[in-house]
Amino acid sequence: MCELEDKLCKFLDVPNFQYVTNGTIALQLALAALDINEGEVITTPFSYVATTTSILWQRCKPVFVDIEPDNFTIDPNQIEKAITPKTKAIMPVHVFGYACDVEKIQKIADQYNLKVIYDGAHAFASKYKGKSLLDYGDISTLSFHATKLFHTVEGGACICKDFEVSHKLEIVKKFGHFYDDYKCIGINGKQSEFHAAMGLANYPYINKIITERKRVSDLYDAELSDFVQRPKKQEDLQYNYAYYPVVFRSEKELLQVFEALKKHDIYARRYFWPSLNTLPYLKEKSDCPISEDISSRIACLPLYPDLSDEEVLKICKIIRSIVLEK
């Protein structure tokens, strides 16, 4: 396990790398290590549900801020309006591996003395202005689920800016104690050697995986860019090709495309739906019209290294037959 942590720490060029059980536990551990166990956490409604539930599990209140219409990350211009005396942290998401506006977010956090935890589940190997996207904020988290660009079947990680925070997180993930020295309330966030071995087996192929995903993405771009909306990539971003999201004109059109693909045993996925501010178990509801609109119309197309050009062209032909017949 230490071998995998060392290799990934060097590959990503980040400090204080903690390998943990999964991406959800990573978020909870990040909150716990920063002593955020109550109050409000400003976050995005456009993400997987784990971003919100990790906040709820830590007995905090998620406060949703709408997203930017171009790349679907949290709108930094709305964050300051959501800050109250109860606000403890900001938890943005690098959606699909695209960068949040890290400079604006950090400026706001510094002004109001807030912690920043980036949900970087999609951000493995993405770089912004020449350094890892995971090297921003107080803590960034990763997911190594089997669906991710780099995976260990299941797993996650926390990258901590501060060594003392990393040390505390390590204690918390090990039940809160070392041997018979009990330090604090903890949880079992340790990962197994078996999962680490899978990561070591995948490690030599990271660059090849990214290269092949770029090949698939470039072909999708050539075939689809004229008639589907795509997120806008930042100029200073070195992208990791983690996903291939497309936005259709309506939810009806999206569902028609899904049905047409399904007839050929091709399965896209609705990343992300529903908009998290509409979750039924939230005590308070808030309006995030951009997220609610995008989440109803967006899907991620199949993207993996072994996807052939012929298969990509088939997928595009099916999509084109639905979108362009109107």
3-state secondary structure the chain: CHHHHHHHHHHHCCCCEEEECCHHHHHHHHHHHCCCCCCEEEECCCCCHHHHHHHHHCCCEEEECCECCCCCCECHHHHHHHCCCCEEEEECECHHHCCCCHHHHHHHHHHHCCEEEEECCCCCCCEECCEEHHHCCCEEEEECCCCCCCCCCCCEEEEECCHHHHHHHHHHHECCEECCEECCCCCECCCCHHHHHHHHHHHHHHHHHHHHHHHHHHHHHHHHCCCCECCCCCCCEECCCCCCEEECCCHHHHHHHHHHHHCCCCCCECCCCCCHHHCCCCCCCCCCHHHHHHHHHEEECCCCCCCCHHHHHHHHHHHHHHHCCC
pLDDT digits (tens, 9 = 90+) for 166-225: 999 999 999 999 888 999 899 999 999 999 999 999 999 999 999 999 999 999 999 998
List the chain domain ranges: 2-203, 206-323
pLDDT digits (tens, 9 = 90+) for 110-165: 999 999 999 999 999 999 999 999 999 999 999 999 999 999 999 999 999 999 99
How far is the C-alpha of 272 from the C-alpha of 23, rounded, in Å? 16
* Assigned architecture for domain 2-203: 3-Layer(aba) Sandwich (3.40)
Tell me what percent of the residues of the chain surpass a pLDDT of 70: 99
* Predicted local confidence at residue 271, as pLDDT: 92
* Predicted local confidence at residue 103, as pLDDT: 97
Domains 2-203 and 206-323 share a fold: no
Residue 326 in this model has a pLDDT that exceeds 60: no
pLDDT digits (tens, 9 = 90+) for 201-218: 999 999 999 999 999 999
Model pTM score: 0.96
Q: What is the dihedral of CA 97, 103, 107, 109, to 10 degrees?
A: 10
Assigned token pair, 108: 């706001």
* Assigned architecture for domain 206-323: Alpha-Beta Complex (3.90)
